[in-house]
Each structure stands twice: as structure tokens, then as C-alpha cells.
Structure 1
């Protein structure tokens, strides 16, 4: 089902403490001003919560913005195309998404795929569109480099990736990779992108600075998305057609295979690199609904968590307390408590939610 809308998949607030200093008045006769007790200091502290949000890309034609404090959609951004993936920039000021051309009445899916899609950039604060950049045919995922210089897009039908200047929003160049590039992550030093090529059994490593593919690693049949540890030493990739997570030692290219659920789609690593969370989507006719939680140190599955039908996109809150999963065939997002491994909330969004990103 590779050419059918990527299998139809393929898709906390931070508390600031402000201590208020009491102003001391001048005291006559050289008497010292009274000291403020520790208890009084504590009582002057004021907690300010910075809003945090989740964004989902809904292939039905929209982006949902969810307030994580209330687990409710607070804004919906409509799109004339079919949004597949969404990402928030490292500084939290911009969100961007890929939009494939939606089929018009009487048009075949192949016809829609043959037209160039877009990368769309929005200002987080104002909710206004900044720029729409034409990229390649059927754009899949978009990811910002950690240094904020570039946004990179995989063009699934063109077998290449587009590198966009994240300040000027101009297309710099395209890089040829493997067949059917889809999900990917970028190293913490912003130097390399690790692209899962769905149409073959490889992950392409792209040198972003020099704008070229430097290597391919075989991981298994139909890899969908990758993840990378913060030290850049370990790569993970969901292998959809073989139902496992490939864990690759990048110093040796040695691969360990960890069995997960049926039809694994996206994978996301906790910020401490302790766990990998794999969303198992299955197919539209026979959807899966589980998240496989893998301990990356022991290479063991430590939990299998039930979410919704067609579990696809996954992201972890920066404090690693919650995991958020898009359920494509239920039009919902599941909120999972990472300590109890239980779903604690279910959030309705627009149809076919796919990619998901956290704005802290």
C-alpha cells in the first residue's frame, strides 16, 4: 500500500519562580532595617505558568493547536492541501508543516502526487502565516535543525529532500536520497539528517552543511521514521513491514532488532534517551492501537500501551512526564502518563491526525 497515502500513515508547562524583593525603608537612629524571614520570602514567590501547546497535522485539511494544560483544541488552522507532518522550531517561535496537494473531484491519487506540495510556516504568537514554500512531490516530514538555520523536508515522490533557509524561507537546494523518503531526525549538532526511505530498506545520512548524501544504512523492509540519541551514537528506525524497531550503533552499523506491534509508524525518544516510544498503526483495514515502550539501555520492551486505532504520530513532553499520540482512524490524540503507562486523556481533533509536535 506504499502509494496509498503512505499506507494512510504515511503521518507541561514550565514553571518560572519570581522572587519579589521587599523594599526596605530608611530607619532613623542608624537602626538596621528588619530582615525578611525565609518564610516571608517564600510567601512572596509568585508562580507564572508559560503556556505549552501540541500541534497536530490533520490530513483532512487542518492543523490543530492543543493547550496541554486543559487538553483541549484552542485553535484550528485550515489548509487547502493535506497536511502530513508538523514541527515547532527550536526557539518555539514558528511552527511549520508539510502540505501535499489534495485530490480534486475526479482526480486520481497519482495525479495529486505528481504535483509539487508545500512547506508552510506560521508565527506561533500571532497565528499568522509567514510563508508558503513550494517543495517537491508529496512532501512528508519537516524538521528544523537545532541551530535554527534550516528546515528540511522529505519529498516522498521525488526521492529527495529540500533544504530551506529558516530565516529567509527560501529553498536552498534539493538532495537526492533513497526511494520514498519519509520520516527523519537531525543530529543535535545540526550536521546530519537521518532519512528513512520507505521505498527501500535503507536510511540515508545527509550532510546538511555540504548538501549531499554521504551514506546509506540497511535497516529492514519499509522503514518509516528515525530517531537519534542526543549523543549522536545510536540511531533507531521503525521497520513497518517487519514489525520491529531497528537499533543501530552508528560507530559500527551493527543492528539490533526489537519486536514491536503491527505496522510501526513513528518513533520518538525521551529527552533523557532512556526510552523509545513506537506508535503501531497497522493498516486502515486492520488498524493497530498500541504504543511500544522500549528501554534503550537494556534493549527490552518494558510496556505495551493501548491508545487509539491507527496510532501514528508520537511526541514526548520535554519533562518526559507525558506521551502524546495521534490516532489516525479515530481522529483523536491520546495522552499517556509515562510513569503509569496509562492513557489519562483523549482529545478529539480533525480527521486523520498524523504528525505531532510539542511547543514548550
Structure 2
């Protein structure tokens, strides 16, 4: 996982927004961040790590937030919360090639391992939207829990785990399990208050969920679909990622 503070101070010395969404494209070595504070048209900021310079920004919809790179690293998807759309950006040209209407308040994006299907959390509608990445259009939606935020597909692409955060006044504590083929909900797991971030182990055996209000990380066994462990981690855990021990 990239340390945003270290990236800011050592690589570039440029001040970034407080709530920072990051994505890195392996072929180019560029890092992308969402400039979500813009009041009208937002943009994705682009940083060249090799040259340690900031490249021209890429205009998107309003309040760009969640970023997701396609599995082949060719396309960057951006959730535009106030435009109710997802921007499609060509990583090679650094241009927006499409903007897909998706529904109410899109926050985060994910995809199947083959990249044929993308998902977007529609936090104001309590739904998960499905995007055909070839046709570049929404092909279905499914109801999930309250205020869905992050999601991730299992390594076989057969299930998507969606964290439902709720509000700070009335937090949700659930993770919805969705079948992307039938576009239907197939289960719910109770985790901790304010379920927010989702990461899945490389072998697909476990799902890790950060619970922003509870200050914990829940560990879900994908076979039993039950929480098998809970770790206290401190106040307000947000995003989460998984790094196998061999990569440490």
C-alpha cells in the first residue's frame, strides 16, 4: 500500500488533498489522485514518479473521488460523486474518452478480474451498479446495505463483497455479497460499525473489512461467509489493502 504522506514529501513535495484517492499504473509509473475539492469541474492529478514531476491534470465530472485501474492497467475509472457519473480515462493518452451516467452519488469503483464488468457503489441509492466496460453503459443495479462505499471481487470473479458504511449518526455494520453474473444479492455478513474498506487475500480465502466507526478490521472466511476474527486497529480506519507475506 502506498504511503500518501511519504509520496507527497519525498517524491514531489506537492501538497495534495486531505482525503486522498490513489491509483498507480504499472506500465507508465504514473500515480493518479482525485482532486475532489473542486467546486465545479474536478480533475485527476497525474504525477510521473520517474521524473518526479506533475503532469497536466485530466478533467472529469464534478467531485472526482474513487479511482480504479482496469486489470490490464490501460483504463482508469473515476467516480464523480456530484455528476452521478463515471469517467473513463485512457492511461496512454491521459484523456477522458467517455463519461458514463451511473446513478446517485457514485463513490468507489471495482471490476472483475477479467475487466469485462465494472462495479460502482451508489451511496445515495443504497445500490451497486454494474457497468459493461465494452459498451460503456450501466447494465443493471442491485440493492445492498445503507451507504455502500468500497467493494472488491473475489479472485475467481464469482462474488463481490460490498462494504455498507451507513452514516456516522447511524452506522451500518454489514457487508453485502453480490453475484455479478446474476446481478443479485446472495448474502450479508455482519462486521463492525461503519464498514468501509474491502480487501481480499490473493488466494481468495479471506476478505478484510475496515470498520471506520468501530476502529476495527473484520476478517471474513469466504467459504463460510462468516467473520472469523476481528482486529482493533485504532480510530477511523478507512481504505485497506492486502500484501502477501512473500512481497514484504
Q: TM-score, normalised by structure 2?
A: 0.90
8 Å CA contact retained: 1:279, 1:312: yes
Identify the match of residue 143 of structure 1 among 1, 4, 23: 23
Structure 2 counterpart of 1:167: 50
8 Å CA contact retained: 2:162, 2:176: yes
Identify the match of residue 286 of structure 1 among 158, 167, 170: 170
How many Å separate the matches in 1 of 2:103 and 2:200? 25
- Compute the displacement of 1:168 (Å): 4.0
How many Å separate the matches in 2 of 1:132 and 1:357? 23
Structure 1 counterpart of 2:154: 270
Matched, 1:152 2:29: no
Identify the match of residue 68 of structure 2 among 179, 185, 192: 185
Identify the match of residue 231 of structure 1 among 85, 104, 114: 114
Matched, 1:208 2:88: no
- Compute the displacement of 1:133 (Å): 4.3
How many Å separate the matches in 2 of 1:186 and 1:234? 13
Q: Secondary structure at the match of 1:140?
A: coil
Aligned length: 240
Task: Kindly report structure 1 stretches of 4+ aligned residues shifted beyond 4 Å.
Answer: none
RMSD between aligned residues: 1.9
C-alpha offsets along residues 126-171 of structure 1, whole Å, 9 cap, x if unaligned?
Answer: xxx8535425544431011243622211111131111122334432
How many Å separate the matches in 2 of 1:223 and 1:298? 21
- Compute the displacement of 1:357 (Å): 1.1
C-alpha offsets along residues 215-237 of structure 1, whole Å, 9 cap, x if unaligned?
Answer: 10011110000012233221110
C-alpha offsets along residues 304-323 of structure 1, whole Å, 9 cap, x if unaligned?
Answer: 00010000011111111000
Question: Which structure has the higher relative contact order (CA within 8 Å, separation 6+)?
Answer: 1
Matches within 5 A, 1:45-124: 88=1, 95-97=2-4, 120-121=6-7
8 Å CA contact retained: 1:201, 1:220: yes
Structure 1 counterpart of 2:130: 247
Gaps of 5+ in 1: 1-87, 89-94, 98-118, 123-128
Segment of structure 1 superposing worse, 341-350 or 239-248: 341-350
Identify the match of residue 203 of structure 2 among 278, 299, 319: 319
Identify the match of residue 256 of structure 1 among 101, 120, 140: 140
8 Å CA contact retained: 1:246, 1:258: yes
Structure 2 counterpart of 1:333: 217
Q: Secondary structure at the match of 2:151?
A: strand
Q: From the CA coordinates, give the structure whose radius of gyration is larger.
A: 1
Structure 2 counterpart of 1:27: none
8 Å CA contact retained: 1:201, 1:218: yes
Structure 1 counterpart of 2:238: 354
Q: Secondary structure at the match of 1:225?
A: strand
8 Å CA contact retained: 1:290, 1:306: yes
8 Å CA contact retained: 2:178, 2:186: yes
How many Å separate the matches in 2 of 1:181 and 1:289? 26
How many Å separate the matches in 1 of 2:44 and 2:149? 20
8 Å CA contact retained: 1:148, 1:166: no
